[in-house]
Amino acid sequence: MPDPLAGLEDACSKPDGSCAGRTHFVVHQTVAGNLTKKKIEDQFGGNKGKAHQYVLKDGTIVPLWPLDTEGVFATKSETSKKPVHGTKPSFALKGKMVHTEIDYENNGKPTTKQYEALRDLYIEACKHFGRILTIVPHIEVDRGFADGHSDPQDFLYDDFYKLLADAGINMARVPRFDHDRYWGKKSFKIPFATDTFSWPPKLTGNPHAAPSPTDALIAMDTALIGAGASKKKKKVAKKKAVKKAAKKRAPAKAAKMAAKKKAKRKLAKKAVRRKSKHRKGRGGSR
Ligand SMILES: [Zn+2]
């Protein structure tokens, strides 16, 4: 079988992923499992914060946006949000991905028809952009973001790649998310808050791996600077609090003193008055 992608440009291989145009084919899962063409059009029509296309359980493809439409996005990485760990590139990620949603319920798995439709969509998308697209799941694209997504659940990457190979595609040319980066360990299916974002997305290895030694040193430095700063801040805050309390106490003290003085003065005045009364009385009444 001739390779349907034979004449196309190779996938983006720039280390910073800065090739012009769309470079990544992102696989998603809606957790409905009962979507229809009408439901998709009624609920998501006109919304650019949705995928380009949907694949129903029976393999029906429902396009929502043409692949070229500007501003379509379906991940946090394409918004202004920043990852908790890792840094975004200087260029916008909106416009770098093609988004496809496979519709199957929570904790379910795609149907054979859905894998086949996805194969067709992948070939179509590559042909459309004239380039081999890198295959990556949503779970990887939003890695390192708070509340990162975990879709598509239980997607069989190797089964999907076999379908592509069977269609004649030279898979040596297709950069793709490694089956074991999801299936290697149970914990790999869940994004961790400590994971690190990367663009281009990482495709192999332990997704929860500790950062490389240099990254770790930089992280440690930043943490130490942070800790030092917060200690200093705490000290300053404490000093301020003491001063404030003293100020608060001061007027109270002054008032007390003033009251005491006033009372003393009153007593003294009374005494003088009494004395003079005496004198007056003595002198006057007589
Ligand atoms: Zn998704």
What CATH number is attached to the domain comprising 193?
3.40.80.10
Closest by alpha carbon to 118, among 23, 28, 48?
Answer: 28
Same domain, 281 and 228: yes
In terms of residue numbers, what domain contains 225? 213-286
Same domain, 188 and 253: no
- Does 34 reside within a domain? yes
pLDDT higher than threshold 50 for residue 193: yes
Same domain, 203 and 222: no
Find the 55 Cα to ligand 1 centroid distance in Å. 13
Tens of pLDDT along 81-112? 999 999 999 999 999 999 999 999 999 999 99
Q: What integer best gives the mean pLDDT of the chain?
A: 85
**Cβ(151)–Cβ(28) under 8 Å?**
yes
Find the 154 Cα to ligand 1 centroid distance in Å. 13
Find the 139 Cα to ligand 1 centroid distance in Å. 7
Find the 278 Cα to ligand 1 centroid distance in Å. 100
Same domain, 33 and 131: yes
For residue 72, what are its two tokens? 């379509």
Indicate yes or no: pTM above 0.85.
no
Same domain, 219 and 189: no
- Does 17 reside within a domain? no
Alpha helix segments (H runs only) across 5-155 = 37-44, 112-129, 138-141
Q: Which residue, 185, 209, 233, sits at the end of a domain?
A: 209
- Does 241 reside within a domain? yes
* Residues near 5 by beta carbon (within 8 Å), at least 6 away in sequence: 123, 126, 127, 132, 169, 170, 173
Tens of pLDDT along 24-78? 999 999 999 999 999 999 999 999 999 999 999 999 999 999 999 999 999 999 9
Tens of pLDDT along 206-235? 999 876 665 555 445 445 554 554 555 555
The dihedral region occupied by 59, where left means phi > 0, alpha psi between -120 and 50, and beta the remainder, is left
Phi and psi at residue 92, to the nearest 5°: -70, 140
Same domain, 252 and 130: no
Q: What is the C-alpha separation between 51 and 68, in angstroms, rounded?
A: 12
Helix (H, G, I), strand (E, B) or coil at 97: strand
Same domain, 84 and 161: yes
Find the 5 Cα to ligand 1 centroid distance in Å. 26
Find the 149 Cα to ligand 1 centroid distance in Å. 6
Q: Please state the domain count of the chain.
A: 2
Same domain, 153 and 228: no
Higher pLDDT, 15 or 236: 15
Same domain, 191 and 269: no
Q: C-alpha angle 125/128/131, rounded to 5°?
A: 80
| pLDDT recorded at residue 211 | 67
- Does 8 reside within a domain? no
Q: What is the C-alpha separation between 111 and 144, in angstroms, rounded?
A: 29
Find the 135 Cα to ligand 1 centroid distance in Å. 14
| pLDDT recorded at residue 210 | 74
Q: Which residue, 166, 192, 209, sits at the end of a domain?
A: 209
Element containing residue 238 per DSSP (H, E): helix 213-284
Same domain, 143 and 59: yes
Find the 32 Cα to ligand 1 centroid distance in Å. 12
Same domain, 187 and 225: no
- Does 148 reside within a domain? yes
**What does the pLDDT average to over 240-247?**
54
Residue 63 bridge partners (DSSP) = 53
- Does 13 reside within a domain? no
For residue 230, what are its two tokens? 């917060």
Find the 219 Cα to ligand 1 centroid distance in Å. 29
* Residues near 154 by beta carbon (within 8 Å), at least 6 away in sequence: 107, 108, 109, 189
**What does the pLDDT average to over 151-160?**
98
Which residue in this structure is represented by tokens 């003085």?
261
pLDDT higher than threshold 90 for residue 161: yes
Same domain, 81 and 171: yes
Find the 76 Cα to ligand 1 centroid distance in Å. 10
Find the 115 Cα to ligand 1 centroid distance in Å. 16
- Does 131 reside within a domain? yes
Find the 184 Cα to ligand 1 centroid distance in Å. 21
pLDDT higher than threshold 80 for residue 134: yes
Closest by alpha carbon to 181, among 208, 200, 163?
Answer: 208
- Does 130 reside within a domain? yes
Q: Which residue, 209, 225, 251, sits at the end of a domain?
A: 209
**Cβ(43)–Cβ(116) under 8 Å?**
no
